[in-house]
Structure 1
Amino acid sequence: MKKSLLAMALSLPLFAVQQNLSLGEALELVKQNNLEVKVASQDVLMKEMEHQEAVGYNYGRLDLVVNALRSNDAGNVFGFKLQSREATFRDFGFSDFLGGVGQALGMANGDFGMFTQMMSDPAMQNRLLDTAPEDLNYPDARNHFQEKIQYMVPLYVGGKLQAYGEITDKMTTISRLDRQKVLNQKLFETRKTYYNISLVENFIKNLNSILKNVEELEETVSNMVDEGYALDIDLLQVQTKKADVLRMINQAKLNRDLAYQYLSFLVDDEVVSVVNVDNDVPMPKMRKEEMLDRNLDIQKAHKGLEVTDLAIGVERANFLPQIGAFAEYGSADDTFLNDFADKDAYTVGVQLKWNLFNGFVDKSKYEKAKIQNMKMKHQVELAKKGIALQIDKIITSIRSKEYDINSLRKKVKFTHRVYENYYSRYKEGLMSINDVLIKNSEEIQAVLSLVKTRFERNNKVFELENIINKGIL
């Protein structure tokens, strides 16, 4: 029983849903859960690793090398013995040479003069020198174990490594700006969807109010038909209008459900209800220069320009010498780690490498880097001017929508009062049902136009906030 309760308790979060979700809570969920934001964050981590990789090359490379070999190749075996400090004259073939000398001594019968004469004979000398040493040419197979530590470090490469470190650091910053842009876009879409849900709810509320009026009209007309003051066609017209209003309410609810599904996708959790807001999104208040400074695309363009500045230095370094140091310490023997200290050896050195000619390839790369830098400067200016123009267009559109909203609010009130007036006059027999329904349609159209304009105005404000990176940094 306890196990079952524990399993149920652990499974509850899997079926949790978000109810009465506030906008602030929704934005926090996007920051924590949105999958696209997570992918962008992982891109940042990869760029950070690339930066650490570039910086790491400054410290050189330390390797432990262990070789375990066995060979009967004459050159290898002789080299193995030299590395193990075990080479003897026998390994050079002196046993065969001494055998020839001993044979000459025997032929001289102990006469040193005759021996000297024989050794001076060119034929004897050639025969001795042409003797193939068995020990040198056909050695026994030998094991060889070599353990050594190698360290290589660049001392001077014309500033390339420092430039690579700075370039990868700036590329990491650009990646963070890309992540911020993705996050801003998701927050923009979340706020847009959240406000759209609130507007749709408000629209449904207004339609329900209109539906109530139409139902009241339907009841009135029905009573008048019963009393002989109205025709059946009048009632049919009202019922058709009622069906239209119900259709609009149903469509609005479907749009609301779709918005909830998209909001659930953005926060990566099921959202069933939100805290509605009735007021429109406030207009950002800041100077044009500050808007441009906050724009992520312009910031990226500036970082890209800095990268091209550094790239010029990288290509310029190809004309300078490269200097590196090398150190190695180790030991070798036919047994692993045997007499390590007695047979150890070291090697140290410095290498200078300076390219003198390569078909003007480096010069072409250098000129290309300078052209790329000039191109990037123009792109920065283009980004500033293009985004400034975009901001101006959005602000103008917002102001236009705000004027329309004020006008439409008055129109909604006016059309409602006109409808009520026509409805009262219809009950007195002074107006036809057609006139009343026309005024009802005008009221619906005014409400729909107001909702649509508020929707468009809010979207433009969100778009502006996204462009100027407002409130996210």
Structure 2
Amino acid sequence: MHYGPYKKSLALVAIAVSGTFFALSAQAVDFNQCVAMALKQNPQMMAAKAEQAEAKGAVSQARGHLLPKLNASFSASQSNNALTVFGMKLSQRQATFNDFGASQFNPSNPNSLNVAPAGLNLPGSYHNYGTKLQLEIPIWNGGEIWGRLSQAHAMLEAAQSGNVMARQKLTFAVLQAYDSVIAAESAIQVAHKAQKAAESYVKTSKLLLDKGVLVKSDWLAAEVNLEKAQLAVQTAENDHANALENLSILIGWPEEKTLSVGKPVQPALPDHSLLDLQRQAMTENAGIVALRHKLKAAQDGIQVARAAYLPHVNAMANQEWNGTSLGNAAPSYTVGGEVTWNVLDFSRGGGMDRAQAEREQAMAALQEAQDKLRLQVAEVWRGAREAALRVKMRRLAVQQMEESQRLVRLRYENGVETITGLLHGQAELDQSRAELVSADYAEAVQRAALLLAIGKLNPQEIVDVAPVSVVEGAS
């Protein structure tokens, strides 16, 4: 005995008695909401923001080297080293003639000059508390500091351009995932339409079989066709579930919530010539802009390396307090300037060679990226134009196949067409509808790829469009 339907009825009754019906409703999000959610949690965006923050820190660090440095220190020491003790006393302004052994010197005895003064050579333990403020002022360091600051600014601008590129790439990925859900939903409609037609063919074939117009094999062929249509529905639903899963992960959608998408979207198609778009890409593509800033940073690296060949000028000033106790300290100060010039150093030549090599690498990387981008713009520009023509052609093909299949079905119902011709025509109609769905998705992706290449892919360039109709007309 089968208790499945009976148990299901009992469950519905129990829910109804309790007065509560549970319905899981999917929450629809539009394209802009998907992009906003993806930007907040996507790992690539998090990495791009971290790189930008790191570059800002490097600029602050480089700028800090232009400013004076003030160091404060406190020391406490004790020693019986003769030189150290005498220095402590001098810094405390506590040195006396007796520290030189004056009490042991006898002017009337010439041999007194050979006597080693015990107070100077054996001073015993002595201590000092010292407080010091030292100001270091960089004046000119061969352009090294300014070179590093310029280099840091260039890397910051490169990181900012990288952040823009990451945003645009993520927008492109969201568009692909979002429109793939739309395409999957259209594919489900196509599959259900084909299933409905297959069910109708089975019913018609059974009636014709009962009337003796068809043979049993024709009816069985219609049954097999229905099984294929049901399998196509299941496949389309699986594809839709996979597309939703992909979009959910991309935007960080909570697992406990059901996701559905809003209206279909279509990027705008730039109305410019290919040459103008290629020129625009060279100036506005964020990836190319980032590489230009990296080239600028590499050129600044040469300036930094060249600074090793030039003199460095710095100034300093310090104020000290030294005493035998914290409240009894003698003040003193020192001011001065210093010029240093590393006249002979064979290692600095290697630094210059490395900086020049890094610039050459940056130039090569920029040139390679520009060449690839120029080709990419040409390919996606042609692809977008071709995709638009393909959508137009597929839409006309669907209309023609719908009308053709309507006539074939009428002939079949009147016994002048075989089941083979009917099923073949339906298969072609289903294929045309599926190709229209794929063509519409391909056009959106090609347009988005073109906007990405020229540096213009942002939500403002992507607008809502009417859903693609692939199931209207005859079966």
1:344 and 2:331 correspond: yes
What is the aligned partner in structure 1 of residue 286 from structure 2?
A: 296
For normalisation by structure 2, the TM-score amounts to 0.83
Q: CA 1:227/1:325 → structure 2, altered by over 3 Å: closer, same or farther?
A: same
What is the aligned partner in structure 2 of residue 7 from structure 1?
A: none
What is the aligned partner in structure 1 of residue 252 from structure 2?
A: 268
Question: What is the Cα deviation at residue 21 of structure 1?
Answer: 0.7
What is the aligned partner in structure 2 of residue 328 from structure 1?
A: 318
Q: Which amino acid aligns with 1:352?
A: V
Alpha-carbon separation, structure 1, partners of 2:64 and 2:93? 37
**CA shift digits 1:135-176 (9 cap, x unpaired):** 333333233210010111211112221121111011001011
Write out aligned runs for 1:103-118 (5 A).
116=108
Write out aligned runs for 1:191-230 (5 A).
191-230=175-214
Q: CA 1:40/1:371 → structure 2, altered by over 3 Å: closer, same or farther?
A: closer
What is the aligned partner in structure 2 of residue 410 from structure 1?
A: 396
From 20, 30, 33, give the equivalent of 2:38.
30
Question: What is the Cα deviation at residue 328 of structure 1?
Answer: 0.7
Question: What is the Cα deviation at residue 374 of structure 1?
Answer: 5.0
Write out aligned runs for 1:345-364 (5 A).
345-359=332-346, 361-364=347-350
Alpha-carbon separation, structure 2, partners of 1:346 and 1:35? 55
Tell me the SS of whatever aligns to 1:266.
helix
From 14, 19, 23, give the equivalent of 2:27.
19
From 92, 108, 113, give the equivalent of 1:84.
92
Question: What is the Cα deviation at residue 346 of structure 1?
Answer: 0.5
Question: What is the Cα deviation at residue 274 of structure 1?
Answer: 1.1
1:282 and 2:250 correspond: no
**Contact residue 280 and residue 454 of structure 1 kept, 8 A:** no
Q: Which amino acid aligns with 2:417?
A: M
Alpha-carbon separation, structure 2, partners of 1:68 and 1:451? 83
Question: What is the Cα deviation at residue 60 of structure 1?
Answer: 2.4
Q: Which sits farther off after the overlay, 454-463 or 181-190?
A: 454-463
Tell me the SS of whatever aligns to 1:406.
helix
Alpha-carbon separation, structure 1, partners of 2:366 and 2:269? 27
Tell me the SS of whatever aligns to 2:72.
strand
**CA shift digits 1:399-431 (9 cap, x unpaired):** 222222222222222222222222221221112
Tell me the SS of whatever aligns to 1:345.
strand
Question: What is the Cα deviation at residue 364 of structure 1?
Answer: 4.9
Q: CA 1:17/1:141 → structure 2, altered by over 3 Å: closer, same or farther?
A: farther
Alpha-carbon separation, structure 2, partners of 1:19 and 1:249? 23
**Contact residue 17 and residue 269 of structure 1 kept, 8 A:** no
For normalisation by structure 1, the TM-score amounts to 0.84
1:143 and 2:127 correspond: yes
Write out aligned runs for 1:92-131 (5 A).
92-95=100-103, 97-98=104-105, 101=106, 116=108, 119-120=109-110, 125=111, 128-131=112-115
How many residues are aligned here?
A: 429
What is the aligned partner in structure 2 of residue 8 from structure 1?
A: none
1:245 and 2:232 correspond: no
Q: CA 1:139/1:226 → structure 2, altered by over 3 Å: closer, same or farther?
A: farther
Tell me the SS of whatever aligns to 2:28.
coil
Question: What is the Cα deviation at residue 325 of structure 1?
Answer: 0.6
What is the aligned partner in structure 1 of residue 4 from structure 2?
A: none
Q: Which sits farther off after the overlay, 85-94 or 249-258?
A: 85-94
**Contact residue 387 and residue 446 of structure 2 kept, 8 A:** no
1:309 and 2:299 correspond: yes
Alpha-carbon separation, structure 1, partners of 2:412 and 2:394? 26
Q: Which amino acid aligns with 2:325?
A: T
The RMSD of aligned alpha carbons is: 2.5
Alpha-carbon separation, structure 2, partners of 1:311 and 1:377? 14
Q: Which ranges of structure 1 fall in alignment gaps of 5 or more residues?
A: 1-15, 102-114
Alpha-carbon separation, structure 2, partners of 1:446 and 1:176? 46
Q: Which amino acid aligns with 1:146?
A: G
From 46, 57, 70, give the equivalent of 1:49.
57
**Contact residue 188 and residue 466 of structure 1 kept, 8 A:** yes
Question: What is the Cα deviation at residue 196 of structure 1?
Answer: 1.4
Tell me the SS of whatever aligns to 2:318.
strand
Tell me the SS of whatever aligns to 2:132.
strand
From 439, 444, 454, give the equivalent of 1:468.
454
**CA shift digits 1:104-149 (9 cap, x unpaired):** xxxxxxxxxxx94xx24xxxx2xx4554443333333233210010
**CA shift digits 1:285-322 (9 cap, x unpaired):** 34322233211122123212322332232233222210
Tell me the SS of whatever aligns to 1:273.
strand
Alpha-carbon separation, structure 1, partners of 2:227 and 2:363? 62
Alpha-carbon separation, structure 1, partners of 2:382 and 2:332? 79
Return the index of the structure with the highest Cα Rg: 1
Q: Which sits farther off after the overlay, 386-395 or 219-228?
A: 219-228
Q: Which sits farther off after the overlay, 294-303 or 180-189?
A: 294-303
**CA shift digits 1:182-202 (9 cap, x unpaired):** 111111111111111111111
**Contact residue 35 and residue 268 of structure 1 kept, 8 A:** no
Q: CA 1:201/1:18 → structure 2, altered by over 3 Å: closer, same or farther?
A: closer
Question: What is the Cα deviation at residue 40 of structure 1?
Answer: 1.3
Higher helix proportion: 1
Alpha-carbon separation, structure 1, partners of 2:355 and 2:44? 34
Alpha-carbon separation, structure 2, partners of 1:172 and 1:61? 25
Alpha-carbon separation, structure 2, partners of 1:234 and 1:139? 123
Tell me the SS of whatever aligns to 1:356.
coil
What is the aligned partner in structure 2 of residue 40 from structure 1?
A: 48
**CA shift digits 1:403-461 (9 cap, x unpaired):** 22222222222222222222221221112212211111111222222222322232222
Q: Which amino acid aligns with 1:339?
A: N
**CA shift digits 1:208-255 (9 cap, x unpaired):** 122111111111112223333333332322222222222222222222
What is the aligned partner in structure 1 of residue 469 from structure 2?
A: none
Q: Which amino acid aligns with 2:209?
A: V
Tell me the SS of whatever aligns to 2:325.
coil
Alpha-carbon separation, structure 1, partners of 2:412 and 2:26? 48
Write out aligned runs for 1:360-439 (5 A).
361-366=347-352, 368-370=354-356, 372-373=358-359, 376-439=362-425
Q: CA 1:424/1:244 → structure 2, altered by over 3 Å: closer, same or farther?
A: same
